[in-house]
C-alpha cells in the first residue's frame, strides 16, 4: 500500500531549511495542513505471460536467474551466429562533467550489468563458454573517484559470465572468440568504439577464408531477435512495470492535490519527481511535462517555467524509471482551480470516451493500429458534434482532416525504454497483440493556432483555443483481455475536480 500527501505543509515546516526536512519541497507552498492517507492499491490480477522467468526476489532488481534465462533464449534464437552487445558509454554533459549513467537497454536485458563501457559476447558456437564479458577491472585509484566496480571476478561470480576479461583486451581477443561462428550479430552505426574492432575481426576472417575454408558469412543486426524477446514481457517484468505504474500514479495523485493557481509549473514537477526518488526510483523516465494552459498544446513541452493560472487546465505527462530501468508513463489533465468550464469539460469528456474505447480494444488478436483507429473515430465523431469538424466521419478520417487537433499516434510499446522496442508492422500487416505485450493508450486534443485548419474545416472559435488534453494509461495484454497498470491514477471528470 502506498501513501500520498494531501494538502500543504504546515507553517512550522515552511520555516525549516530545506535540508532539515524530508518534505522540504513543500516549503514552496503556502502554509496549511499536511496529512497522509493510503492510496488505493492498483490492479494486480495475475498475467498469463507467454513465458515465465524466475520470480523477482528483491523489490529493487530482478533475480540473476532472469538474465540467465534471457541469454539462453537469445542464444537459441541466434543459432550459429555470434552476437556482440556493447554497454552504453559515459556521455559528457559539459567540460569534464558526465551525464548520469544510463545503461544500454539491450545490454541490460541480457546481463543486468550496470557499468559503462563493457561488452558482452553471446557465443552459441562455443557451448562451454557462451557468455563472455569484457569489463573495467577493479582499480582502487579509479574507484575512489567514481565508485565501486565489479571487475572480472564479479562479472563471473555475480553476473554469470563464463569468462571475463579487462575491457582493454577486447581488441586482441575478439577475433578468436568470433572464430567459427556462422555470422556476427552487431548493431552497426551505434557503437563507434566497438564497431572498428568487430569489422577488423570479421575482415581478418574473410582474408583467411581462402586458406582456412571458413568465415562468418555476414554481419547481421541483433535487433529483430532481441527486440522480439523484449516486446513480450515475462511475469517478472510485468511485476516491475506494475511497480513503476504504482509510483507514477501516486505522483500524479499528489500533484493534483497540490496544484493551484499561482504556483509555477516546475513546483508541481518538483513534487512529482521528489515522490519518484522517495519511492526508490532512479528518477523520471523522461523529461516530465507539466504544461498549464496553452503550453499543453505543445506535445513535448518541458520548459515547465510558466505560472498556473485560474481557469486553465494543467496537463501532466510524467512517469518514473525504476532501479532496473522499467518505466511508467502516465498523463492526466485537470483544471487548475478544481472546476472545468464548459468547453474544457466537453473536450475532456470526449478524450476520456476515446481513451476508454481504445483501452477496451486491447487484447489478444487486436493490434496497436486498431487501438489507434478506435480512438480516432470516437474523437472525430465527437468533434463533428461539437462543431469543431465538418463533414462525414469516414471522409474526415480518410483525408486526415482532424490532424490539426489530434496529430500523434495513440500509443507506443512500454518497457525498459519508454518508447520501447518492437515492430508495429511486419510488412503490410500490423503486429497482433499477444499476452505479455505492454503499450500506452493516450489520445488527446490540442486546440491552438499552431497548425493551419485544413481546407473545408471550420475556423476555431477563440473560446476553444488554448485547451490541451491528453489521458494516458499503461496497459498490459493478458490472456483474457487487458490490465490497466496505471489504474490508481484517477481520470474520471469528477475525480479531476475538487
By annotation, the residues acting in catalysis are: 96, 300, 317, 329, 408, 412, 419, 442, 446, 470, 472
Measured CA to CA, the distance from residue 314 to residue 376 in angstroms comes to 23
Measured CA to CA, the distance from residue 473 to residue 29 in angstroms comes to 29
Measured CA to CA, the distance from residue 233 to residue 248 in angstroms comes to 19
Q: Which residues contact 223 (CB under 8 A, 6 or more apart)?
A: 106, 187, 421
Q: Are 298 and 289 in contact (CB under 8 A)?
A: no
Cα distance between the two ends of the chain: 24
User: Alpha helices of 8-127 — where are they, by DSSP H?
Assistant: 11-15, 64-78, 105-111
Measured CA to CA, the distance from residue 144 to residue 470 in angstroms comes to 46
φ/ψ region of 352 (left if φ > 0, alpha if ψ in -120 to 50, else beta) reads alpha
Residue 289's DSSP bridge partners are 317
Query: Is beta strand 444-447 parallel, antiparallel or unpaired with respect to 467-470?
Result: antiparallel
Distance, CA of 320 to chain centre: 8
Measured CA to CA, the distance from residue 124 to residue 72 in angstroms comes to 9
User: Alpha helices of 195-331 — where are they, by DSSP H?
Assistant: 195-212, 223-231, 235-258, 265-278
Q: Are 318 and 289 in contact (CB under 8 A)?
A: yes
CA distances from 11 to 34, 227, 271 (A): 10, 52, 18
Q: Which residues contact 19 (CB under 8 A, 6 or more apart)?
A: none
Amino acid at each position: 500500500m502506498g501513501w500520498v500527501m494531501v494538502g500543504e505543509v504546515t507553517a512550522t515546516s515552511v520555516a525549516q531549511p530545506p535540508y532539515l526536512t524530508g518534505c522540504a519541497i513543500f516549503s514552496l507552498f503556502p502554509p496549511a495542513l499536511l496529512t497522509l492517507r493510503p492510496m488505493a492499491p492498483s490492479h494486480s490480477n495475475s498475467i498469463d505471460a507467454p513465458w515465465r522467468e524466475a520470480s523477482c526476489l528483491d523489490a529493487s532488481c530482478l533475480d540473476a536467474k532472469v538474465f540467465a534465462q534471457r541469454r539462453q533464449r537469445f542464444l537459441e534464437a541466434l543459432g550459429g551466429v555470434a552476437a556482440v552487445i556493447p554497454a552504453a558509454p559515459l556521455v559528457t554533459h559539459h567540460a569534464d562533467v558526465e551525464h548520469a549513467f544510463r545503461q544500454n537497454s539491450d545490454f541490460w536485458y541480457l546481463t543486468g550489468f550496470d557499468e559503462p563501457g563493457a561488452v558482452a559476447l553471446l557465443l552459441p558456437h562455443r557451448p562451454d563458454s557462451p557468455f563472455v564479458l569484457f569489463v573495467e577491472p577493479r582499480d582502487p585509484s579509479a574507484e575512489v573517484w567514481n565508485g565501486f566496480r565489479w571487475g572480472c571476478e564479479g562479472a563471473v561470480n555475480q553476473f554469470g559470465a563464463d569468462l571475463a576479461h579487462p575491457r582493454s583486451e577486447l581488441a586482441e581477443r575478439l577475433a578468436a572468440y568470433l572464430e567459427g561462428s556462422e555470422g556476427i550479430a552487431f548493431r552497426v552505426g551505434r557503437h563507434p568504439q566497438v564497431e572498428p574492432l568487430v569489422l577488423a575481426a570479421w575482415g581478418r576472417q574473410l582474408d583467411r577464408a581462402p586458406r582456412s575454408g571458413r568465415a562468418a558469412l555476414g554481419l547481421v543486426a541483433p535487433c529483430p531477435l532481441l527486440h522480439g524477446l523484449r516486446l513480450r514481457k515475462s511475469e517478472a517484468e510485468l511485476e516491475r512495470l506494475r511497480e513503476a505504474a504504482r509510483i507514477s500514479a501516486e505522483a500524479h495523485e499528489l500533484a493534483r492535490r497540490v496544484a493551484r493557481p499561482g504556483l509555477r509549473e516546475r513546483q508541481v514537477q518538483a513534487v512529482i519527481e521528489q515522490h519518484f526518488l522517495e519511492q526508490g526510483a532512479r528518477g523520471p523516465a523522461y523529461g516530465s511535462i507539466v504544461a498549464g494552459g496553452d503550453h499543453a498544446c505543445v506535445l513535448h513541452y518541458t520548459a515547465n517555467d510558466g505560472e498556473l493560472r485560474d481557469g486553465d487546465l494543467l496537463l501532466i505527462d510524467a512517469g518514473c524509471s525504476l532501479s532496473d530501468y522499467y518505466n511508467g508513463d502516465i498523463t492526466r489533465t485537470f483544471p487548475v482551480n478544481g472546476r472545468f468550464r464548459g468547453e474544457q469539460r466537453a473536450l475532456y469528456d470526449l478524450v476520456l470516451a476515446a481513451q476508454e474505447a481504445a483501452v477496451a480494444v486491447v487484447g489478444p488478436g487486436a493490434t496497436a493500429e486498431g487501438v489507434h483507429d478506435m480512438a480516432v473515430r470516437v474523437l472525430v465523431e465527437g468533434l463533428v458534434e461539437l462543431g469543431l469538424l465538418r463533414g462525414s466521419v469516414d471522409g474526415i478520417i480518410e483525408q486526415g482532416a482532424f490532424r490539426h487537433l489530434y496529430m500523434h499516434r495513440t500509443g507506443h510499446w512500454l518497457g525498459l525504454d519508454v518508447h520501447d522496442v518492437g515492430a508495429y508492422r511486419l510488412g503490410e500487416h500490423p503486429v497482433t497483440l499477444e499476452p505479455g505485450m505492454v503499450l500506452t493508450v493516450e489520445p488527446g486534443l490540442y486546440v491552438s493556432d499552431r497548425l493551419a485548419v485544413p481546407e473545408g474545416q471550420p475556423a476555431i472559435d477563440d473560446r476553444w483555443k488554448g485547451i490541451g488534453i491528453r489521458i494516458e494509461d499503461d496497459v498490459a495484454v493478458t490472456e483474457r483481455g487487458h490490465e490497466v497498470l496505471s489504474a490508481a491514477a484517477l481520470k474520471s471528470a469528477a475525480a479531476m475536480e475538487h
